[in-house]
A and B are shown apart, each in its own frame.
Chain A
Amino acid sequence: MHMSITEFERETYRKSPIHRIDGRIKILMTLAIIVYAVALPRMDSLDLIKLGLLEIYLIILMMFARLEFSYLAMRFAIALPFGLGIAAFQPFVRQPFIQDFTILYTLPLGIEVSREGALFGVIIFAKFLVCISAVILLSSTIPMSELVSSARRLGLPKELALLFTMMVRYLFVFWNMLGRIRTAQKTRCFEIWNKNVPRKWTLEQIGYTISSLFVRSYEQGERTYQSMLCRGYNADAHVYVGRKKITAPDIFIFTLTIAIIAAAQVRVV
C-alpha cells in the first residue's frame, strides 16, 4: 500500500488535452457533476441510468487524460472503502422516508433485507462513485499549486490559499520524516513485539516517535520556509496570481459537460 504523495503529484504533470484545460473550468465542471449527482432524488431507479451516463463520460475523460490504469486502480482502491460501509448497511435499515418495504429475506436474529433498502443503498453508492470519479479526475489532472491558483481566481481568500500551499508543501516534509524515522528504527532492530525489552520502554519509544515526527517535521519545515524566504519569497509575492485567458477548448469542454448533465436529466425520464 505505497502510494507516496510524490507519485500522486507526478501524475498531474502529464501532458494531455484534459491536463491542458484551465483549472477554473475543471473545478467548476467537477462541482457541477458532483452537485448534480447529489441532487438526484433519493429513490428513483432512473437515477442509476443518469449516474451511469455521467460515469461513462468521466471514464472517457480519464482515457483522454492518458492516466495509467494501475494508477487509477490505486486511487479508486483508496477511495472506495470510505463509501462502502454505509451503503452496505442500507438493505437492513428501515429508511424513515420510505413507506412500504418489500422483504426479500429474513436473516437470523430477525434482521430483514428489504428491496427498497437495497435499492437506496445502490443509489447512494452510485452517487458516491460518480462523485469520487469526478474528484479523482480533477486531482489527477491538476497540480496542487495550480489548483490553488485557480481557486484563487475563483475567489478563494488569500490566507486560505497561502496556508493551503504551505500545507501541501509540508506534506512532503512530513512524509519524508516518517520514512526516515522508520528506517532509523529498523536499522537498529526495533520491533514492537520484541520480547527482550520491557513493554513500558516500547510504549515510550512509540511516544517519542510521534513527538519527534512532529517536532522534527516542524523544524525541517521551518528551515525550509526560511530558505524559501532566502530565495526572495514573501507571502504577498506568492499570492499574486496573474490573469489567465479562458480558451475555446475550455469553453467547449465546459459546455459539453453541462450539456451531458442536461441530456441525462431530460432524455432519461
Chain B
Amino acid sequence: MHIPDGYIPLEQAAVYWIIAILFIARSIKWARKDLNENMIPLFGVLAAGMFVLQTINIAANLLIPVPMLTGVSWHVVGATLAAIIFASPWAAVLLITLVLAVQSLFGDGGITAMGANILNMGIIAGFIGYYSYIGLSKLSIKRPIAIFTGAWLSMILPAIALAFELWFAGTFPLKQGALLMGTFQGVAGIGEGLITVIVFGAIIKARPDIVEEDAPQKVSTIKVAAAGIVALFGLAIAAPFLTSSNPDGLGQTANVVLKHEINSAITPLFSSYSIPGMGEMGKVAAIVIGFAAIIAVWFVAAKILKKGST
C-alpha cells in the first residue's frame, strides 16, 4: 500500500503533499485542544504498535518474496482503530502521519510520496473508517460489526484511491490496479477488521476509564450524513472510470480538464524542469525553486500553527 519514491511524478506528489499538509495542520489543532496529557502514552503506544505490527509484516515479506505482492504488501493500517479510540478522525490523520514518517525511514514508503500515502491511509481511511463506524452505530448495529465494517472499508477504499493515483502517475493501468489492489486489500481488510475489533475490545475492557463508550451517540447526524455524501460523490466520480472499457480514453478527457485545473498551474514550473532561456542551468534553477516552494509551504504551515499555540 505504501507508494515508494519515484513512482509518482513530482508535480503530482506535490499536490498530494499540499492536501496532506492542510489535513495535518488541522489534526495538530485537534491534538492541541482534545488530546489531554494522560492520553499521550496511549497515542504513542498505538502508533508504535502499528509500526511494529507492520515490521513483522516486513519480515514476512522477506520470507515470501513474491515480487508482485511486495509493492502492495499487506499492512495493518490502524486508522479506524485510532479514530474510534480517540473519537476523532483527526487522530487517525495524525497517528498515521507519524507511523508513515518512521516507516519511510526504514524505506517503506517514500518521502515525496508520503503526501499520497497520508492521503490514502490516514485521511481517506481515517474518515471512512470512523464515519462508517459512527453511522452504523447510530443505526444500532452491534458494535463489533460496526467496527469491523468501518475497518474493512478503510482498507478497500484507499486501495481504489491508490489505483487512481498510480494510474494518474502512469505507472499502473487503472482497471487491473483497482482489481488487484482492491481484491488484495479486501482480503487483508478482514484481518484488519478482526484486529481492530479485538484491540478495541481489549482496551475498553482493561481500561474503561480511557475510552468513551457512548461516543458515537454524541456525533451529530448531520456530520455523518455529510461524510456519507462526500464518500458517495467520490465513488460516483470514480465509478465511470472503473466500469468503462477504455478508462485511458476517459482519462484523456479527464486530463484535458485537469490540465486546465492543476497542471496548468504547476507544469510550467516543474514539468519541463526548465526556465526558458537559461538552458541546462535553468533546469537546475527550476528544481531549486520548486524545492524551495515546498519548504516555504512547510514554513508557512509551521508559522500559522505557532501563532495559534501562544
Question: Is the CB of B306 closer than 8 A to any CB of chain A?
Answer: yes
**A124 to chain B: which residues have CB within 8 Å?**
6-7, 171
Q: Which residue of A lies closest to B251 (CB)?
A: A96
Determine if A81 and B62 form an interchain contact, defined as CB atoms under 8 angstroms apart: yes
Binary contact readout B29-63 vs A (1 if CB under 8 angstroms, 0 otherwise): 00110000100111111111101100000110111
Determine if B170 and A95 form an interchain contact, defined as CB atoms under 8 angstroms apart: yes
Determine if B6 and A37 form an interchain contact, defined as CB atoms under 8 angstroms apart: yes
Determine if A235 and B45 form an interchain contact, defined as CB atoms under 8 angstroms apart: no
**B2 to chain A: which residues have CB within 8 Å?**
82
Contacts A86-B71, A210-B199; A41 near B171 (Cβ below 8 A): no
Question: Is the CB of B243 closer than 8 A to any CB of chain A?
Answer: no
Determine if B302 and A85 form an interchain contact, defined as CB atoms under 8 angstroms apart: no
Q: Which residue of B lies closest to A41 (CB)?
A: B273
Cross-interface CB contact of B49 among A75, A90, A213, A261, cutoff 8 Å: A213
Binary contact readout B281-296 vs A (1 if CB under 8 angstroms, 0 otherwise): 1011001001100100
Cα distance A175–B109 when bound, in Å? 21
Determine if B94 and A163 form an interchain contact, defined as CB atoms under 8 angstroms apart: yes
Cα distance A41–B11 when bound, in Å? 11
Q: How far is the CB of B254 from chain A (nearest CB, A)?
A: 11
Question: Is the CB of B110 closer than 8 A to any CB of chain A?
Answer: yes
**B67 to chain A: which residues have CB within 8 Å?**
81, 84-85, 88
Binary contact readout A154-171 vs B (1 if CB under 8 angstroms, 0 otherwise): 111111101110111111
Determine if B70 and A173 form an interchain contact, defined as CB atoms under 8 angstroms apart: no
Cross-interface CB contact of A135 among B68, B111, B280, B302, cutoff 8 Å: B111
Determine if A157 and B306 form an interchain contact, defined as CB atoms under 8 angstroms apart: yes
- A/B pair count, beta carbons within 8 Å: 253
Question: Is the CB of B268 closer than 8 A to any CB of chain A?
Answer: no
Determine if B68 and A85 form an interchain contact, defined as CB atoms under 8 angstroms apart: yes
**B171 to chain A: which residues have CB within 8 Å?**
86, 90, 93, 95, 124
Q: How far is the CB of B82 from chain A (nearest CB, A)?
A: 12
Determine if B107 and A159 form an interchain contact, defined as CB atoms under 8 angstroms apart: no
Contacts A78-B62, A217-B48; A86 near B43 (Cβ below 8 A): no
Cα distance A195–B206 when bound, in Å? 31
Contacts A84-B71, A211-B199, A214-B202; A35 near B10 (Cβ below 8 A): yes
Binary contact readout A19-54 vs B (1 if CB under 8 angstroms, 0 otherwise): 000000000001110111111011000000000000
**B13 to chain A: which residues have CB within 8 Å?**
38
Determine if A173 and B48 form an interchain contact, defined as CB atoms under 8 angstroms apart: yes
Range of interface residues on chain A? 35 or more
Determine if A139 and B284 form an interchain contact, defined as CB atoms under 8 angstroms apart: no
Question: Is the CB of B241 closer than 8 A to any CB of chain A?
Answer: no
**B43 to chain A: which residues have CB within 8 Å?**
163, 166-167
Binary contact readout B162-197 vs A (1 if CB under 8 angstroms, 0 otherwise): 000010001111000000000000000000000100
Cross-interface CB contact of B198 among A87, A131, A210, A224, cutoff 8 Å: A210
Q: Which residue of A lies closest to B5 (CB)?
A: A131
Contacts A35-B10, A95-B170, A96-B251; A157 near B48 (Cβ below 8 A): no
Question: Is the CB of B298 closer than 8 A to any CB of chain A?
Answer: yes
Q: Is the interface of A mostly helix, strand, loop or mixed?
A: helix
A77-102 contacts to B, CB under 8 A, are: 77-90, 93-97
Q: Looking at B110, B203, B281, which has the most chain A CB atoms within 10 Å of its CB?
A: B110
Cα distance A97–B198 when bound, in Å? 46
Q: Which residue of A lies closest to B99 (CB)?
A: A167
Determine if B283 and A265 form an interchain contact, defined as CB atoms under 8 angstroms apart: yes
Determine if B62 and A139 form an interchain contact, defined as CB atoms under 8 angstroms apart: no
Q: Which residue of A lies closest to B197 (CB)?
A: A207
Determine if B41 and A166 form an interchain contact, defined as CB atoms under 8 angstroms apart: yes
Contacts A85-B67, A155-B299, A215-B207; A265 near B110 (Cβ below 8 A): no
Determine if B28 and A157 form an interchain contact, defined as CB atoms under 8 angstroms apart: yes
Cross-interface CB contact of A171 among B52, B281, B290, cutoff 8 Å: B52
Determine if B52 and A85 form an interchain contact, defined as CB atoms under 8 angstroms apart: no
Q: How far is the CB of A37 from chain B (nearest CB, A)?
A: 7
Q: How far is the CB of B55 from chain A (nearest CB, A)?
A: 8
Determine if A167 and B102 form an interchain contact, defined as CB atoms under 8 angstroms apart: yes
Q: How far is the CB of A120 from chain B (nearest CB, A)?
A: 8
Determine if A37 and B172 form an interchain contact, defined as CB atoms under 8 angstroms apart: no
Q: How far is the CB of B73 from chain A (nearest CB, A)?
A: 7
Contacts A85-B70, A265-B280; A38 near B6 (Cβ below 8 A): yes
Cα distance A148–B310 when bound, in Å? 21
Residues of chain A touching chain B, judged by Cβ–Cβ distance below 8 Å, are: 1, 30-32, 34-39, 41-42, 75, 77-90, 93-97, 124-128, 130-132, 135-136, 138-139, 154-160, 162-164, 166-171, 173-175, 178, 207, 210-215, 217-219, 221-222, 224-225, 235, 261-262, 265-266, 269
Shortest 7 CB-CB distances between A and B: which pairs?
A85-B71, A79-B107, A211-B202, A127-B6, A166-B44, A131-B5, A155-B302
- Interchain Cβ contacts under 8 Å between A and B, 30 examples: A1-B58, A34-B110, A34-B112, A75-B106, A79-B106, A82-B71, A82-B107, A85-B72, A93-B173, A130-B6, A131-B6, A131-B111, A154-B298, A155-B303, A157-B309, A158-B309, A164-B102, A168-B102, A169-B44, A170-B47, A171-B52, A173-B48, A178-B52, A211-B202, A215-B203, A215-B206, A217-B45, A225-B40, A225-B41, A265-B284
